[in-house]
Amino acid sequence: MPVTVSILILAFDLSSHAGDKIGPRPEDFPVFRGDESPDNLIYIPSGLQTALSPGIILGITQFDFQTHGSTGNRCAVDSEGGVHFTWTNTISYPFPHGVYYNYVDTSGNWLGAVQVSQVSGAGFPQISITADDLGAIAYHSTYDPSVEDYVVAAIDNFTGFGVFRYVDPPDSLTYRCLWPYVSVDINNVIHILSAEMAPAGSPMALGYTNSVDTGYTWSNLVAADTIMTLSQNIVSSPVSGKSAIVYTHPLNYDTQWQNDVYYIESQEGLTWDWTYGKINVTDYGPPDSLYAYTDLAAIYDYNDNLHIIWNAQWVTDAGVYYRTYLLHYDRDSGSITELLSTSDIWYGCNIGAWNRPICKMSLGRSPAESSLIAVYTLFDYDDCSAGGFANGELYMQYSCDDGATWTIPENLTASPSHGCLPGDCESDHWSSVADKVNDSMHIIYIEDKDAGTAAQGEGSVTDNPVRYLDVPAPECLTSVENDDNVPVTFSLLQNYPNPFNARTEIAFELGNTASIDLSIYDIYGRKVATLANGIFEEGNHYIIWEAGEFSSGMYFYRLETGSESYTRKMTLLK
C-alpha cells in the first residue's frame, strides 16, 4: 500500500502558512545527565493494569526518560533470531539508577531483567550485536568515576547469559563525554559515539572511538563535530564495512532549534575524513525556515544504501510552528521525501521537553529487496493527561521501494487515555525497533503511566512498564522473492486539485471488472470516509470527495481490490 510522495522542495513560502498555530520559541532545554533530582516530584503508585497498551512487560521503571533526542537502538536481533533489550531503570526514583538487560531466544526462553551497570548511577544505554551474537551495550555513569568511567561498554560473555565483561572506551575531550551510541560493523569493529557534557547552553563535541579487538584496546577519542542537541547516532552496513555518523548540526550555535541533518561516512569503518567528509543533507537556512531539531534515525539497507529520517518544523524569529514533518533521505538517489506531517493546530496539552508532535523515530530493514520500516511516537492534541501533557501512541509506516513511497501510518498501540490521572495513563513513548526485521518487527517502548517526562519535572513519578512488542512483519518485508506477485490490474491517479478546498476529484483505472473499496484516512490511520465500495467495470472512473465538513490537514486515499491496494496522499486547505 505505498503512498506516492514527491521530493520535498527545500524553499518554503511562509505566506502560505500564515494561519498556522505558532508558539514562542522555547528556551533551550537542559541536557539531563541522570543524577539530577527535580524538585516537587510526587510518587504515584501504579496498578499497572491495562487493557490497551500491548506487549510483554520486560520490567518496571520509574525512570521514564530513555533518550533526549535520537532513540537509537535499545533492541537488537542476533543472527539466530534471538532478541536483546536494554533500558534505564530506577526502582525508587531517583536512586538507585541503572542499566538493565533482557534476552529471549527463538524458542521463547527468557532471561529476566538483569542489572548490567555496576554502580548506582548509570543510564541511557544502547545495544548492538557482535559477530559471535553477543550483546554489546554502551552507557554512561555519572556518580562515581573513580569506580566506573563515564562511558562504559559491557559485552556479554555468552549469548543471552547477561554476564558481562566491562571495557573502558576513552571518554575525555575538553570535557568528559556521556550519552554513548554503539554499532558493531560486519568486520566486528565496535564503534562508539558520545557527546561532551559541556556547560549549559554551550556546543557539545561529538567524541568518536573504535575497537578492532572487541574492546580490549581503543583508538584515540576524536572530536567528530559539534552539536547543540543530543541527536547523534552511528550505524553500520549489514553487507559491507561502511559505517556512518549521523546527527543534526546547528546553523548557529545560539539555539537548539535550527539544525541541518549531517552525516560522515567511512568506507571500511576505520578511516574517517573529519574535515571534508561532512555531508549536509538538508542545507536549511534563510530564506527557508524549515529546520531539523533533535530526533533522527539512520540505517543501511541490504543494498548498502544509507537512509535517514528526522522531524522538522518551521522556526522563525517569531517562534516555532507546531506542524511537524517526518522526512526521509536516501543517499543513493539524494532525494528527500515526506512520510507525513501533523496538523497546523495544536492546543490543549504540552508535548514536553525534547519532543515534537512526531518524535523518537527508529528504522528497521529487511533482507527483502529495498524494504524499510519506520516506528515513531505520534502525539494527539486530543489525548491529554490530567496534568496537561500529551499521551503518546506508537505508529509505523513501511516502504517496499527503498523509501520512495510509504504506507499510511498505522497505530501499533491504540491506547488513548484522555484525562487520565497519574498512575492510570497509557502514554506510549521512547520506542526503538530492532534494525533487523525477520518475520517480526521487534520493538521496545515505555508505557508511561503519567504523560510527560518525570526526569524533566513533568508529571509524577510512576511505575512504568517496559514493554516488548512483537509485530508480524508486512508481507513485502518478509518476501525476499517477489516474482510471484499478482500483476497490477489498476492505477490510482493523484487527486485534482491538490491541495484543495472542500472538493476534489479522485480518478482510477481498472484493467478488469473488480470489487473495489475507495476510502479516506486521516494522518492517524483512521478511516474517515468511504467513497466507493462494490463492483466496478473495466475502464476509467472518477469519484468526487466533498470534504466541507472535514478540517484542514493531510489525508490519505486508498484503493483496494481483493488482492491489491494503492495509497496516495492529499492536502485539504480551508
Task: Examine the pLDDT at 508 and tell me if it is beyond 70.
Answer: yes
Q: pLDDT-based confidence at 147, cuts 50/70/90?
A: low
The DSSP annotation for 354-393 comes to: T--SEEEEEEEEETTTTEEEEEEEEEEEEEE-TTSBEEEE
d(CA 77, CA 436): 6
Are 505 and 496 in contact, with CB atoms under 8 Å apart? yes
Domain 14-475 has CATH 2.120.10.10: yes
Residues 204, 94: Cα–Cα separation, whole Å = 26
Digit-coded pLDDT (tens) for 63-92: 999 999 999 999 999 999 999 999 999 888
Percent of the chain exceeding pLDDT 70 equals 89
* DSSP assignments along 54-83, one per residue: -SEEEEEES-----SS----SEEE-TTS-E
Tell which wins on pLDDT, 193 or 41. Answer: 193
**pLDDT at position 359, please?**
97
Q: Where are the beta strands (DSSP E) in 325-477?
A: 325-330, 336-341, 358-366, 371-384, 390-399, 405-406, 410-411, 427-433, 440-448, 461-462, 464-472
| pLDDT over 60 (residue 481) | no
Between 382 and 2, the more confident residue is: 382
Give the DSSP H or E segment for 475: helix 475-478
Predicted pLDDT of residue 560: 86
* The pLDDT of residue 8: 36
Mean pLDDT, range 328-336, rounded to an integer? 95
User: What pLDDT was estimated at residue 483?
Assistant: 39
Give me the pLDDT at residue 10, please.
34
Q: What is the pLDDT of residues 279-316, one digit of tens each?
A: 999 999 887 889 999 999 999 999 999 999 999 999 98
Residue 452 vs residues 63, 272, 375, 411, 446: alpha-carbon distances, Å: 11, 39, 20, 20, 12
Q: What is the mean pLDDT of residues 490-500?
A: 90
Q: How far apart are CA 320 and CA 340, in angstroms?
A: 18
Entry pTM: 0.88
CATH number 2.60.40.2550 is the correct assignment for the domain at 485-572: yes
Q: Is the pLDDT of residue 1 over 50?
A: no
Q: What is the pLDDT of residues 256-275, one digit of tens each?
A: 999 999 999 999 999 999 99
Give the C-alpha distances (Å, rounded to integers) separating 181 from 126, 140, 350, 427, 550.
6, 10, 28, 25, 43
Domain ranges of the chain: 14-475, 485-572
Cα-based torsion angle of the residue sequence 343, 347, 353, 356 in order, rounded to the nearest 10 degrees: 0
184-202 pLDDT per residue, tens: 999 999 999 999 998 888 9
Q: Where are the beta strands (DSSP E) in 172-216?
A: 177-184, 190-196, 204-211
Tens digit of each residue's pLDDT (9 = 90 or more) over 369-388:
678 999 999 998 889 999 99
Q: Is the pLDDT of residue 222 over 90?
A: yes
C-alpha cell belonging to residue 117: 551497570
Residue 346 pLDDT greater than 80, yes or no: no
Least confident of 21-30, 114-123, 458-467: 21-30
Output the pLDDT for position 486.
Answer: 41
Torsion of CA 253, 256, 261, 264, to 10 degrees: 60
Q: Regarding predicted confidence, which is higher, 500 or 2?
A: 500
Mean pLDDT of the chain: 88
**pLDDT tens-place string over residues 522-564:** 887 788 999 999 999 888 999 999 999 998 888 889 898 876 7
Give the pLDDT score at 103. 97
Residue 147: exposure state from Cβ atoms within 10 A (0-12, 13-18, ≥19): exposed
What are the backbone angles phi and psi of residue 476, rounded to the nearest 5°?
-70, -15
The pLDDT, as a whole number, for residue 16 is: 40
What pLDDT is stored for residue 35 in this prediction?
67
pLDDT above 90 for 319: no
